[in-house]
Amino acid sequence: MIYSGGQDSTTCLFWALKEFKEVWAIGFNYGQRHLNELRAAEIITREAGVPYQVFSMSTLPEVSGNALTNKKMAIDTRISYGEPPNTLVEGRNLLFLTYAGIYAKQMGIPNLVMGVSQTDYSGYPDCRNEFILAANTTLNFAFDVEFKIHTPLMWKSKAETWHIAKDLGVFELIRDKTVTCYYGIAGAGCGKCPACQLRAKGLHEFLNENTVL
């Protein structure tokens, strides 16, 4: 499980715990502007009884100019459809999957789980289904292993993701303990960055459809 401590990956973590007998979670310190998401991930995996390991990609900011790895850049609060936002970390998911492939092959694990979604993806090209399919083929050739990348949320909206969390019995945990905010604020976050806006919009839609939790 490629695990960040955010809403989507936490939903997928508990999905994986239901689907597989054993789950290992890995995270990445890639020079992001806050480490609260990794702290949240550590707490949640400990509570879930899932082994969790963080790998360093500390040199990524040296080759990537974006608002998530450069604190001097202001985060664009506009949700733009059709063009990537300035929070895009180029190649991040490709690197994550490569590291996950290396780790998984040594552990004898054929299944990789990632919480990407094309429905509410904010313009990130490496969250699209086409990318995942291509990356899956590439990993299989690169490692000579028949990996399967699972993306349970690929065609799910944020409202549908909240519904999955409810069905898995972790709605309150995800609402209160995950870190989706680009500023590293847990729960509802700052309410202004694109990640918080999408999260809040989905939660509002979900609650309107489900008045009794």
Q: Please provide the DSSP assignment of 65-129 as one string.
A: --TTT-TTSPPP-S--SSS--TT--TTHHHHHHHHHHHHHHHHT--EEE----STT-TT-GGGSH
pLDDT at 64: 84
- Residue 205 within any structural domain of the chain: no
This model's pTM is above 0.75: yes
Question: Two tokens at 98?
Answer: 């490569």
Nearest by Cα to 26 from 98, 116, 125: 98
- Residue 26 within any structural domain of the chain: yes
Q: Which of 106-110, 119-123, 136-140, 161-165 shows the lowest mean pLDDT across its residues?
A: 119-123
Question: Two tokens at 129?
Answer: 């289904």
Contacts of residue 43, defined as CB under 8 A and 6 or more positions apart, other chains included, come to 177
- Residue 39 within any structural domain of the chain: yes
In the block, residue with structure tokens 């806050």: 34
In terms of pLDDT, which residue wins out, 108 or 81?
Answer: 108
pLDDT at 84: 77
Per-residue pLDDT band at 187 (split at 50, 70, 90): very high
Per-residue pLDDT band at 4 (split at 50, 70, 90): very high
Question: Two tokens at 17?
Answer: 């715990």
pLDDT at 33: 87
The H or E element spanning position 29 is strand 25-29
Does the CA dihedral 121-122-123-125 come out positive or negative? negative
Number of domains in the chain: 1
Per-residue pLDDT band at 80 (split at 50, 70, 90): low
Characterise 38 by phi-psi region: left (phi > 0), alpha (psi -120 to 50), beta (else). Answer: alpha
Mean pLDDT of 30-36: 91
Radius of gyration of the chain measured on its C-alpha atoms: 16
- Residue 198 within any structural domain of the chain: no
- Residue 211 within any structural domain of the chain: no
The rounded percent of the chain whose pLDDT value lies above 70 is 95
- Residue 208 within any structural domain of the chain: no
How many CB atoms lie under 10 A from the CB of residue 143?
Answer: 14
Cα 149 → chain centroid: 14
CATH code of the domain covering residue 48:
3.40.50.620
Per-residue pLDDT band at 14 (split at 50, 70, 90): very high
Top mean-pLDDT range of 36-45, 52-61, 203-212: 36-45
Mean pLDDT of 94-122: 93
- Residue 16 within any structural domain of the chain: yes
- Residue 169 within any structural domain of the chain: no
Q: Can you give the residue range of the structural domain that contains 146?
A: 7-157
